[in-house]
Amino acid sequence: MPEGDTVHQAAGRLHQALAGQELTVSDLRVPRLATVDLTGRTVLEVVARGKHLLTRLEGGLTLHSHLRMDGSWRIFAPGERWRGGPGHQIRAVLGTASRTAVGYRLPVLELLRTPAEDEAVGHLGPDLLGPDWSPAEALARLAAAPEREVGEAVLDQRNLAGIGNVFKSELCFLLRVTPWLPVGELPDPERLTTLAARLLEANRHRPRRTTTGRPDRPLYVYGRAGRPCLRCGTPVRTAQQGDPTRERPTYWCPGCQRGPAPAA
């Protein structure tokens, strides 16, 4: 599940593979971009902004993509067989003389003028892994709706950019509050932003995400429904939170975390 850490890793891989090189292959397989040809343009850089990827090209163009739940960019050497899904799931191919980047299942793919990138990402709050990270600004945005549930508030990318469902559950566990606790009832709201930044920074370069530091049990509660809490032994519980049309299972330990929660 792509979250801020994995998206920043993807940006790093794409940047290493493409930056400074001229595109020799350009194949954008979405209707609105079907006639666009980017060959001959040099890739300037690839950067992440929250969960968004911005591939900046010479001539003032930016290819904006978003991975959402299961999108991915894969990098291949010349002649290497592409792996990442069936061909009909490919949405973009960007190739140079030495590498080819293939975008699978990209739900968002659009071409923007680079000065107009804010049309795609200007609504985002401070990026937990970006140069614009500001704990004070993130805290102010969270505090603007004190009645909102913590879990929903930290998932809202307009408050702070980069947290997804995994980090939401793990962050609430480490704060010892349930994801349904109102933001205004947090005993130490400053700790939320500090800890969120620490979690993502610690996983910025890790191939496998962890919040426990234990390779055998990398996460405290996420994905551990029915199994004993690593801290107190109480069975971990799971329930949906937020928009019922979106599958976002939330995990918590009723023994370690205080606050409201769905009935058993």
Instruction: Please give the class, per CATH, of domain 133-250.
Output: mainly alpha
Predicted local confidence at residue 243, as pLDDT: 78
At 27-52, the pLDDT tens digits run 999 999 999 999 999 999 999 999 99
Average pLDDT of the chain, as a whole number: 96
Q: Would you place residue 111 in the very low, low, confident or very high pLDDT band (cuts 50, 70, 90)?
A: very high
- 221 Ramachandran zone, left/alpha/beta (phi>0; psi -120 to 50): alpha
pTM: 0.93
Q: Is 51 a catalytic residue?
A: yes
Domain ranges of the chain: 2-120, 133-250
Predicted local confidence at residue 1, as pLDDT: 63
Predicted local confidence at residue 264, as pLDDT: 67
Predicted local confidence at residue 33, as pLDDT: 97
Q: How far apart (Å, rounded) are the C-alpha atoms in residues 196 and 167?
A: 8
For residue 168, the number of C-alpha atoms closer than 13 Å in the C-beta half-sphere is: 30
Q: Is 248 a catalytic residue?
A: yes
Residue of 2, 91, 99, 126 with catalytic role: 2
Q: Would you place residue 242 in the very low, low, confident or very high pLDDT band (cuts 50, 70, 90)?
A: confident
Q: Is 168 a catalytic residue?
A: no
Residue of 51, 56, 99, 224 with catalytic role: 51
Residue of 176, 248, 254, 258 with catalytic role: 248
Contact between 234 and 254 under an 8 Å Cβ cutoff? The reply is yes
Q: Is 135 a catalytic residue?
A: no
> Domain 2-120: what homologous superfamily?
MutM-like, N-terminal (3.20.190.10)
Q: Which two tokens stand for residue 32?
A: 């609105």
At 166-214, the pLDDT tens digits run 999 999 999 999 999 999 999 999 999 999 999 999 999 998 999 999 9
220 pLDDT more than 70 = yes
Predicted local confidence at residue 248, as pLDDT: 82
At 54-80, the pLDDT tens digits run 999 999 999 999 998 899 999 999 999
Residue of 3, 149, 152, 170 with catalytic role: 3
Predicted local confidence at residue 2, as pLDDT: 82
Could you give the percent of the chain with pLDDT greater than 90?
94
Q: In what order do the strands lie in the sheet with 72-76?
A: 25-28, 90-95, 100-104, 72-76
